[in-house]
Structure 1
């Protein structure tokens, strides 16, 4: 007989957040598209906002192939980067002020890149954003030895969450939120969002240490190097 774990009360309404960018370096790459929304307990999106930015630098062909936004399109139709960074930060700050958890898959990427963009454009940064829910960190912690990749597409499929238009900010944000809800029904998560946030800090640190050991063993890192396990903003 299958036992259904009740959904924690704090997960009945969650924010979702995703960025598509010019690359994978949080310090130097820029926002191209962004999505901030709110899901109800059933995973239905009940509020949403999207942004298209002109990042101010060329969008590499490799990045454009992933998210479908070319340099020309961003320059013609995107809003100034500083405006987008300010509005995305304000939207997230509003949800946090309401005590709403915000789901972001591989959160340390999105929140770190947003922090660097804020510094670049003179926008007030999100200081210690919380509570954050990172389905990637939670999935790794609760199902550590499952084989295979842990990309959002793969993990969404594992938890039977549909994901059409992967690498489109709104689709990825909503799918991540629905994966978070699936994880809460699969595993006994803490009773408060604050407690889960604190646990994820430790899980992310431990996961980075394990990855560091592996990379050193296979020669991808020197013994003196390490993977940054800071979460939800990298140090």
Structure 2
């Protein structure tokens, strides 16, 4: 058995909005799994420091009042989440995140907002030949959304986590609760590897590199589709697994 039989780290954020550059963390979860079962679970409730819009509350159930009363300071949550993820990467464990470019970019933006070390700054040593010019590389990351788009490109229908769980026979309990979503992402990744054997046969860093390419191809195609529909200025960022601005 390949990477999908090894320990996998599920990761998910619930947030104040849909723009990862400006939205804030409300809840976070990191779920350690082996064989698709929970070995350890870490969860956080943050006070984002800004009002939580009603639309976001309708999704994840956390109100501004609850976050302010029971949540921890946002900088502490961002620091701890980043530290836990970096620790797993340092051990070579893949982090599984559904639509990873959103969650990792948002976490990166939170770290920058609070003057904290970036995800890459927390990683030391060789990059295992992944990408880049020798600097620390964030990963390996496994994104079931990006893999599913590439492995079953022409399947019709939505590709939300709930829809993809249904497609792959994964039970999603308590959708939009960060821990439940993180665990479901891991189980979808395992189901993808089982259905598409060539995905499961890749090494984690090989799969990471392929997802960079697959995501860029999807973004280019989606941008063209949007422009063809009349949005001549549409731009779809093609960076994966995170869109971290550099200076």
TM band (smaller chain)? over 0.9
Note the C-alpha offset of 1:91. Answer: 0.4
Equivalents in 1 of 2:39, 2:183: separation in Å?
11
Query: Do structure 1's residue 181 and structure 2's residue 190 form an aligned pair?
Result: yes
Q: Deviations over 1:131-171 (max 9, x none)?
A: 00000000000000000000000000100000011111001
| Kept after mapping to 1: 8 A contact 2:3/2:204 | no
Equivalents in 1 of 2:5, 2:73: separation in Å?
34
| Kept after mapping to 2: 8 A contact 1:10/1:193 | no
Of 60, 74, 91, which residue of structure 2 is paired with 1:81? 74
Note the C-alpha offset of 1:11. Answer: 4.1
Equivalents in 2 of 1:67, 1:74: separation in Å?
12
Identify which range, 56-65 or 7-16, moves more after superposition. Answer: 7-16
- Structure 2 length normalisation: TM-score? 0.89
Unaligned regions of 5+ residues in structure 2, if any?
121-136
Query: Do structure 1's residue 60 and structure 2's residue 53 form an aligned pair?
Result: yes
Note the C-alpha offset of 1:12. Answer: 1.7
Aligned to 2:163: 154
| Kept after mapping to 1: 8 A contact 2:4/2:189 | no
Q: Deviations over 1:88-135 (max 9, x none)?
A: 000000100110000000000000000000000111111131100000
Note the C-alpha offset of 1:218. Answer: 1.0
| Kept after mapping to 1: 8 A contact 2:7/2:32 | yes
Of 224, 237, 240, which residue of structure 2 is paired with 1:213? 224
| Kept after mapping to 1: 8 A contact 2:17/2:24 | yes
Note the C-alpha offset of 1:226. Answer: 2.1
Of 190, 202, 219, which residue of structure 2 is paired with 1:191? 202
Equivalents in 2 of 1:26, 1:217: separation in Å?
26
Query: Do structure 1's residue 201 and structure 2's residue 212 form an aligned pair?
Result: yes
Aligned length: 226
Unaligned regions of 5+ residues in structure 1, if any?
1-6
Equivalents in 2 of 1:100, 1:117: separation in Å?
23
Of 37, 40, 43, which residue of structure 1 is paired with 2:31? 37
